[in-house]
Amino acid sequence: MCLSSRPLERREQGLQRSTGEGRGHSLTNVCQLGFPNIGNTCFMNATLQCLLSLTCFWTPIIAQQASWMDTASSQMLRCLAELQQARLSSSKKQKKQLLRALKSCLSARCPAFDGYDQEDAHEFLMLILLQLKEEGEALRTSCVSSICPVEHFEFQLKSVRTCTSCGLQVSRVEDFNHLSINLRSTLAHSLHAYFQPTDIEISCECEQGCRASEVQEFSTLPRSLVDLQASKPHLGPAYGQECPPTGLYRLHGVVSHLGNSLDSGHYISDVAEGEGDSWLTFNDSEVSHMNESAVLKRRAKTAYLLFYVRSGAEENNPPFWKWDHRAVTPCP
């Protein structure tokens, strides 16, 4: 069943929507949103552009700085906050310093990211979310009240296994922050195929059954759904707005890999520019405009990570570059 689109109340404190002439930024400012490549870091740049364009992701980070800014363990939160607030800066030097700091923060826990080889965008995203999750848990352990931005990506899947011999059913609920699916003509069709019953090997209490049918379904829904392509995708025209079995989602960002191998090639990203048909294409420092139909057509065979937002989750939120940043407390 599709969920209806309803505007959500703005609850974030310390952020105000700009008015009058300050409501938007010039094309020149938008073109400054790009990130310089500091050495085979297109995988970082493309993924960060999609992440930092999600209002539900970056507003908790910025709005809650007072709760974590003096905490030594909040290194990734600090890196992302500083990078987000520098996005409209024309200083490539500043952005390079911040990107190196973020890369250094990540490589401290995963040495593979210490060098300047091409890395996988999905692995990079998962490590970012994992580190943010751990930093959020550390804050809660310290009795600091905060909303972890990773919560908006998390959801639960319920699986039910039925023994084919005795009919015994065993159910369990697991936590996820992304799905790895084979993209079909629409997201609804892709999810329908993903949730088809599967035949698996088991060891049943009846001591006779060795096979079972497993069925999965959403137990909870994420505010933002990350879809990792398990095979070469096909983005049809319906991917701009989709109706999965349990809710209405809208495509918000695409990370594409151009090349035949994930160890080489080049990553770029496309992000919806608020409501309407306008999108921005990020190719490291270069930023250009494109309409949605062109994005779906051009990325039909190169999309690697797809970022969806649940209808209503972002509709009252203008893009980052249309906020009045004078109302956002800068990082110390």
Q: Taking the chain (332 residues) in consecutive chunks of 10 residues, what is each chunk's mean pLDDT? A: 25 29 49 93 96 91 83 90 90 95 92 88 94 88 77 91 90 90 75 88 82 90 82 47 56 91 85 84 95 91 90 53 38 30
**Which of 2, 80, 51, 34 is closest to 307 using CA atoms?**
51
* Cross-strand pairs, 103: none
- Do residues 243 and 2 lie in contact, with contact meaning Cβ atoms separated by under 8 Å? yes
Specify the pLDDT at position 231. Answer: 55
Give backbone dihedrals phi and psi of 85, rounded to 5 degrees, phi first.
-75, -10
As a residue count, the chain comes to 332
Element (H or E) spanning 324, and its range?
A: strand 323-324
Q: Phi-psi bin for 44: left (phi > 0), alpha (psi -120 to 50), beta?
A: alpha
- Beta carbons within 8 Å of 20's beta carbon, 6+ residues apart: none
Lookup: tokens for 133: 């999750």
Quote the pTM value.
Answer: 0.79
Tokens 């007072």 belong to residue: 66
Give backbone dihedrals phi and psi of 132, rounded to 5 degrees, phi first.
-65, -40
Give backbone dihedrals phi and psi of 309, rounded to 5 degrees, phi first.
-120, 140
**Which of 1, 5, 140 is closest to 64 using CA atoms?**
140
Residue at 31: amino acid letter: C
- Beta carbons within 8 Å of 179's beta carbon, 6+ residues apart: 191, 194, 225, 226, 227, 228
Specify the pLDDT at position 275. Answer: 67
3-state secondary structure of 302: coil
Element (H or E) spanning 101, and its range?
A: helix 92-107
Specify the pLDDT at position 19. Answer: 29
3-state secondary structure of 149: helix
Specify the pLDDT at position 121. Answer: 94
The distance of Cα 287 from the centroid of its chain, to the nearest Å, equals 19
Lookup: tokens for 236: 């049809």
Tally: H helices and E strands in the chain: 9, 14
Specify the pLDDT at position 14. Answer: 28
CA distances from 183 to 49, 97, 256, 306, 315 (A): 22, 37, 14, 10, 25
- Do residues 10 and 55 lie in contact, with contact meaning Cβ atoms separated by under 8 Å? no
3-state secondary structure of 198: strand
